[in-house]
């Protein structure tokens, strides 16, 4: 995952944390009109708005989102980099937990942040499953 290269190469947690927040700054700002309750991801302590659409011409998922906290916005950017542009079948093959573990992030995240990541991934995977059915 190209977006995570700086995080993977950072030798200490503080540098990884900084890289995550910098990655969050790369996400486009979600218009306030899209920050609606129905787009909130349940199970996240921070507010996370997530939209999962399906590009029929490319048979791929298009995922956009935003968060009200910088660190979660960075974690969301990692998740979007993992899943955007994949077919529904490919989405279901991705183990996000394993990818975060490879980056050395899981042991440093609070349980609530870990639950938030799980909730975001489940939202994306649920949409992928619906497209396969």
Catalytic residues: 44
Picking from 114, 44, 120, the residue whose alpha carbon sits closest to that of residue 82 is 120
The Cα 88–Cα 100 span in angstroms is 20
Q: Is the dihedral of CA 34, 119, 2, 18 positive or negative?
A: positive
Nearest-5° angle of CA 70, CA 79, CA 121?
110
Q: Return phi, psi of residue 86, to 5°.
A: -95, 155
The Cα 112–Cα 49 span in angstroms is 17
């Amino acid at each position: 995952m190209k977006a995570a290269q700086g995080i993977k190469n950072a030798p200490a947690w503080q540098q990884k944390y900084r890289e995550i927040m910098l990655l969050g700054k790369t996400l486009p700002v979600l218009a306030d009109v899209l920050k609606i309750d129905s787009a909130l991801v349940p199970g996240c302590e921070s507010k996370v708005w997530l939209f999962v659409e399906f590009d029929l011409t490319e048979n791929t998922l298009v995922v956009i989102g935003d968060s009200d906290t910088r660190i979660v916005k960075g974690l969301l950017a990692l998740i979007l980099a993992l899943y955007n542009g994949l077919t529904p079948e490919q989405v279901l093959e991705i183990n996000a937990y394993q990818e975060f573990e490879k980056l050395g992030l899981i042991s440093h995240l609070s349980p609530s942040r870990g639950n938030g990541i799980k909730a975001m991934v489940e939202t994306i995977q649920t949409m992928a499953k619906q497209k396969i059915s």
